[in-house]
Chains A and B, each alone.
Chain A
Amino acid sequence: MNGRVGELLGTRRELLRYGGYGLLGAFAQQAFLPVAARAAGRATPRGGARFCIVIELAGALSHIDSFDFKENAGTQKDFDVRRIKDDLYLPYRLFPHLSKQMERIAVVRSMKSHEVVHFRGQYYTQAGRPLNPAQASEIPSVGSVVSYEFEGQRREADTFPTYIGCNLDTAGCGALSTGFLPPRLSVLDINLKNGSAAAPADAAAMEILEERYRLLRKLDEVMAPGRAARDRNFSSFRDFQQSAYKILGDPRWPAAFQMAKPEIERYGDNSVGLGCLLARNLVEADAGTRYIHITHPDWDHHRDIYNHSKKSNHYIRCNEFDRAMAALLDDLAAKPSPRLLGKTLLDETMVVMVTEFGRTPGALNGIAGRHHYNLAYLSLFAGAGVKGGRIIGKTDAEGENVVDSGWKYSKHQIKTENVYATIYSALGIDWKKEITNTPSRRAYRYVDSLGATEMLIDDEIAELFV
């Protein structure tokens, strides 16, 4: 590894002398990619999670109508609010399944975002850091950093990509790129509702594909001498074809997409339901995929948030998410780990719900909805050693401001950065590492304490585990 990195660095320096910083833009990124991470802060990751599933409620969940329930003028009569335990109340009408599972789930209620628009907010949740346009082109998604970290752990039989996305194409910022990391660490984004390219071929199609792929390789061999003298990008596409073919040809791939009707009903035949079902299958298959980011779109209810007659409203989205996450946790908890005696798949999987910010507390606005709100919102954690049934942080009576951050940094609200520090930590990754030889020469810290508007705590949320 070191030798290779050294080589790359040599080439890079040589090139730098020529065009200076600029030339690294267009072509150089394809030609070579410098990567050498070094531990900067010596954080001690707790480990324990082999997999991580992030469910992103894109458009922003109304915190005060869900896991930080506050009765107010906007509260609907049909919510059927029930006390789960302590000060955890949930509208049963919205969360009938998760209401029964809160013993597995920890709620972090003291979050704060500096973002208040979706594009930037969703970028923040995928990149784990604020959007900085000066650097954006070189910033990888968190999933690609995980892929980079786990590349050395991939086994011969691992054909699935380390990082799989579901419906990232529906996010405001789309699926983020690998930035300065090599394209092979890219997300494979699957949208089961939208005819994804990655969905497996059926047996007949696979048979033809095999025949065709063999022919492609044969033609490739006879063309090879002529190609060797050409630009290396010309032939590098073959590597991607090889991994694509390996994935499609692995019987575990179509198996992961096999979804029986009762199961689809249990998870919900919608973007988050199918995403969670696929995620469960990928975890069970253990065929290389370690990190899954599921986008659940269409939560942005500025208008008519509780209008049952609208195609999209808070009831529908909450019910979808409720069903999907509950089924996922149930299944993971029911399945023994094939690796660790006496443990379940849930013990090895961190499941996290994130959303870009909250929604305006109090009465509904003039168009019967809730706008964006960033000073208090929440996320959920389960699995991989997270102690369920607990609440971290506390907001005031309206849910407008956080009155208790709920962790050891009492003056600091919890940020997206801390969510990812926790995920990295659970996955056994030192989140204080940094990569210094980036194209822009700005250090890339896995979790950056330099926030958009203030210095941040770059620690994990240890309170989830004790």
Chain B
Amino acid sequence: MRAWILAIFGVAAMAQIPSPSPGQAKGHQEAEEFEKAHRPLIQPNRPKSKSVGAVTAGLAGGRQARTASPVVPHRNYIDGHVFGRMKKDGIPHAGLAADEEFARRAWLDATGRIPPPEELAVYLNDRSPAKRDALIDKLVASEGFVDKWTFYFEDLFRAGQRMGSGLNLFHYWVREWLRLDRPYNEVVTDLLTGAGKTSFSVPGGMYYARDFVKAKDDPETADAHDLVNQPDTVDEFTITYSKVFLGLNLACISCHDGRGHLEKVNLFLTSKKRDEFYGQAAFFGKTRQIMNWENGYQANTEYTVDDLAPGYDTKAESIVRVPRRGGDGSPRFILTGEKPRPGMNARDELARMLTGHVQFRRTLANRVWSELMGFGIVEPIDDFDLERYRPSAKLPDPWTAQPSNVELLEALAEDFRKNQHSFRQLVATIMKSSAYQLSSRFDGEWKEAYTPYFARKYVRMLSAAELHDAIALATGRPGKFQAGSEKVSMVMQMPEPKKADAEVQNFMRTFGQSNRDDMPKKSPPSALQAMLLMQSKIVTERVTADKEGWLAALLEKTADNRKLVESIYQQTISRSPSGAELQVGLAALGSDRRRGAENLQWALLNSPEFLFNY
């Protein structure tokens, strides 16, 4: 058979073992040679390293000069864990962020927006001691919160064109559960279960329907269902949802057992067999995505979902991974081995087991922590090593525990459970801690060793959508976008940023916007980003002070140059200029006031204090 393929896969097998390939049977000896060569590469020597405890003890008791840390109040249980740990280990930390620093951060983290200057002024003038909590409560209850986190979850759930006509429905469904703060375990249950037509009755079903191959691109093929339901696709989807909801990367064991491969990569997965992966994949083994075909073409992108297929075939041919050689094809939950109860739908049972497991709560808590704090308590956030998770675990040398503060993550997960899986509450709780409110400024010598303690705020560049929308907000020139039949002014409010015009799309891509086909990833800074900010129309046209827009109006109504500079600062980087900055600003206004004002706003849009959440 010729190897032509109808499927489109994002990723497949991890370390692939040799297998007979079409037209070329391979000798056993060659396979062995390959295996032998494979092992040393994936089991490199690791440097001997002490345990976290040993090092922190060394820092605490040794010659380490103790730096007096600023006093910060303990606002909730998070602070007990974060500052308690630092105190125990003698790690110095930053002081609390000033009000301006805190406010901009809070606005960006909760709503993805820079603060509106008037609202910021009200907040800064507020003398109430509880004003930070009050601001956080206001922000997480706002529509901005729904905008920002809808976009976040749509990146995570890869809500894109593959969802076809179900995309808009999915978008409003995500907005709705965020607005209502539906329990997250219920939301994920909706994502994993449900049967019917994706475009009408089960919007959550788009999450898995999107991954199934747009099969039958070829009318020569007899039965489209075979392709739609092929086990490779189930495998891919299983890898994806296990990352998203369980923080586990099962890619390696989707092809081969962990033993002999993963000893130096992930101790937990080392003990897992491919057969156990089959068990996890089998929960979707009976699920069919049936498409609407007309004259050999897919007539629309609606799917009918049911669970009437024969089940996961552990001997099914594979296109992208090591051949399946048989095994147990019955559903078994990878973390407990639990099987569905007789007579129950396997996906319903998966949702029950998965959302009831503590690893589900840890994963989300760690994800949200990473968004708000710069990186996770466990890193990488979708590659937990559960063997290295328990603090009491005896680990083979040179492994050390994976979480930087396991008690903290456990407490977050437990709090999440107690609050009925309230996502909004989780965000608010982290933001209300002093740990979140530390300054990014650290006076004294910073050491990398302090990093895992979260001893200061770690700055992050604004996301592509945040940055685009911040430029629009700062210049008072909203974008014009479409969300379904609705007109919206921010990229962040769109169901799919790929529907923006080419200029905006190019901007978004350059700043790391997910393509919504792969898992979202962080993108490093680049010269291309800098070029774009310098000369993209998204910036240059917006700072032009002609009839529409904020700057023209400001020039018109503000005769005093000093006030002009101050307003541009407040509007753009959410703070007032220092004396020295004011002087530079005034000089810039020089002979041509309008051109000077445009230049000043351009320079501030290009400054780190605009580009970063600090």
CB distance A209 to B535 under 8 Å?
yes
Which residues in A have their C-beta under 8 angstroms from that of B42? 442
- Report the Cα distance A15→B2, complex, angstroms: 50
Which chain A residues numbered 164 to 181 have a C-beta less than 8 Å away from chain B? 169, 174, 177-178
Question: In the complex the two chains form, what is the Cα distance from A450 to B17 in whole Å?
Answer: 10
Residue B502, interface by CB 8 Å: yes
Inter-subunit contact B44/A443 (CB<8 Å): yes
The reply to whether B26 and A454 contact each other, CB–CB distance below 8 Å, is yes
- On whether the beta carbons of B603 and A442 are closer than 8 Å, the reply is no
Kindly provide the distance from the CB of A5 to the nearest chain B CB, expressed in whole angstroms.
Answer: 15
Interfacial chain A residues near B600, Cβ < 8 Å? 215
Contact residues of B between 1 and 53, Cβ < 8 Å to A:
2-19, 21-23, 26, 30, 33-34, 37-38, 41-42, 44, 46-47, 49-52
Q: Which of B26, B218, B370 contacts A302 (CB 8 A)?
A: B218
Partner of B599, one of A189, A212, A436: A212
A357 nearest CB neighbor, chain B only: B3
Residue in contact with A18 in the complex, picked from B18, B55, B458, CB distance below 8 Å: B55
B23 touches A455 (CB 8 A): no
Are the CB atoms of B531 and A231 closer together than 8 Å?
no
Asked if A441 and B44 make an inter-chain contact with CB atoms under 8 angstroms apart, the answer reads yes
CB contacts (< 8 Å) of A141 on chain B: these are none
Is there an interface contact between A453 and B252, defined as CB atoms closer than 8 Å?
A: no
A433 at the interface (CB under 8 A from B): no
Which residues of B506-536 are within 8 A (CB) of A? 506-507, 509-510, 515, 521-532, 534-536
Min C-beta distance of B192 to chain A, whole Å: 22
**Nearest B residue (CB) for A10:** B448
Say if the beta carbon of B558 comes within 8 Å of chain A.
no
Asked if A450 contacts B374 (CB within 8 A), the reply is: no
Listed stretches B285-293, B343-351, B580-588; interface member: B580-588
Q: Are A453 and B510 in contact (CB under 8 A)?
A: no
- By the criterion CB–CB under 8 Å, are B459 and A22 in contact? no
Q: A186 contacts B524, CB within 8 Å?
A: yes
Using CB atoms, name the residue of chain B closest to A456.
Answer: B34
- Please, how many angstroms separate the alpha-carbon atoms of A23 and B230 in the complex? 36
Residues of A within 8 A of B4 (CB): 116, 360, 371-373
Within 8 A of A (CB), among B295-345: 296, 319-320
Q: Are B530 and A132 in contact (CB under 8 A)?
A: no
Contact of B614 among A137, A174, A234, A366 (CB under 8 A): A234
Measured in the bound complex, the distance between the Cα atoms of B404 and A240 in whole Å is 32
Chain B residues, CB < 8 A from A235: 608
CB closest chain-A residue, reference B536:
A197
A454 touches which one: B30, B526, B530 (CB < 8 A)?
A: B30
B9 touches A120 (CB 8 A): yes
Is B452 positioned at the interface, with any CB of A under 8 Å from its CB?
yes
Give the distance to chain A from B544, nearest Cβ to Cβ, in Å: 10
Taking the complex as formed, is B546 at the interface, i.e. its CB lies under 8 A from any CB of chain A? no
- CB-based nearest A residue for B19: A453
Q: Which residue of B lies closest to A243 (CB)?
A: B527
Main secondary structure of the interface of B (DSSP, over half): loop
A22, A201, A240: the one contacting B402 at CB < 8 Å is: A22
Which residues of A lie under 8 Å from residue B265 when comparing CB positions?
Answer: 134, 440
A-B contact count, CB below 8 Å? Answer: 306
Of B126-134, B425-433, B437-445, B477-485, the one contacting chain A is B437-445
Residues of A within 8 A of B581 (CB): 219, 222-223
CB <8 Å contact, B535 and A230: no
Residues of A within 8 A of B370 (CB): 26
B520 CB → nearest A CB, Å: 12
In angstroms, how far is the closest chain B Cβ from the Cβ of A266? 27
Choose from B23, B220, B249, B602 the contact partner of A134 (Cβ within 8 Å): B249
Write the nearest CB–CB distance from B89 to chain A, whole angstroms: 11
Judge whether A27 and B451 touch: CB under 8 Å: yes
Contact of A247 among B249, B402, B459, B527 (CB under 8 A): B527
Do B531 and A375 touch (CB < 8 A)? no
Cβ–Cβ contact B525 & A240, under 8 A = yes
Whether, in the assembled complex, B611 has its beta carbon less than 8 Å from a beta carbon of chain A, the answer is yes
Chain A residue with the shortest CB-CB distance to B10: A119
Distance in angstroms from B485 CB to nearest chain A CB is: 28
- A11 located at the interface, meaning its Cβ lies under 8 Å from any Cβ of chain B in the complex: yes
Q: Which of B4, B217, B251, B502 has the most CB of A within 10 A?
A: B4
Contact A16 B49 (CB under 8 A): yes
* B contact residues around A233 at 8 Å (CB): 458-461, 525, 612
Residues of chain B lying within 8 A (CB to CB) of residue A436? 44
Q: Is B161 an interface residue (CB 8 A)?
A: no
Alpha-carbon distance A235/B251, docked complex (angstroms): 37
B612 and A177 form a contact (CB under 8 A) = no
Check B52 against A371 for contact (C-beta < 8 Å).
Answer: no
**A309 beta carbon closer than 8 Å to chain B:** no
- In the bound complex, what is the Cα–Cα distance between A454 and B34 (angstroms)? 6
Contact A455 B440 (CB under 8 A): no
Pick the residue among A15, A114, A136 that contacts B448 (CB under 8 A): A15
Complex Cα spacing A442 to B46, Å: 10
Nearest CB on B from A410, distance (A): 14
Cβ contacts under 8 Å, B2 to chain A: 360, 371, 373, 400
Cross-chain contact B530 with A220 (CB below 8 angstroms): no
Given contact pairs A188-B528, A212-B602, A117 touches B5 in the complex (Cβ within 8 A): yes
* Neighbouring B residues of A26 by C-beta, 8 Å: 370, 374-376, 379-381, 522
**Minimum distance in angstroms from A365 CB to a CB of chain B:** 6
A17-B55, A20-B402, A453-B19 in contact; A248/B9 too (CB < 8 A)? no
Given A23-B375, A131-B12, A222-B578: 16 more A-B contacts, CB < 8 Å: A14-B448, A25-B381, A26-B370, A117-B5, A119-B8, A136-B11, A188-B526, A197-B528, A215-B599, A216-B606, A219-B585, A223-B609, A241-B530, A401-B23, A442-B44, A453-B21
Q: Which residues of A are interface residues toward B (Cβ below 8 A)?
A: 11, 13-32, 114, 116-120, 130-134, 136-137, 161, 169, 174, 177-178, 183-184, 186, 188-189, 191, 194-198, 201, 205, 208-209, 211-213, 215-216, 218-220, 222-223, 226-227, 229-231, 233-238, 240-241, 243-245, 247-248, 302-303, 360, 365-367, 371-375, 400-401, 436, 440-443, 449-450, 452-455
What are 15 A-B interface contacts by the 8 Å CB criterion? A15-B448, A17-B54, A134-B15, A197-B506, A197-B536, A212-B534, A219-B603, A233-B525, A234-B459, A234-B608, A237-B525, A374-B3, A449-B37, A453-B18, A454-B34
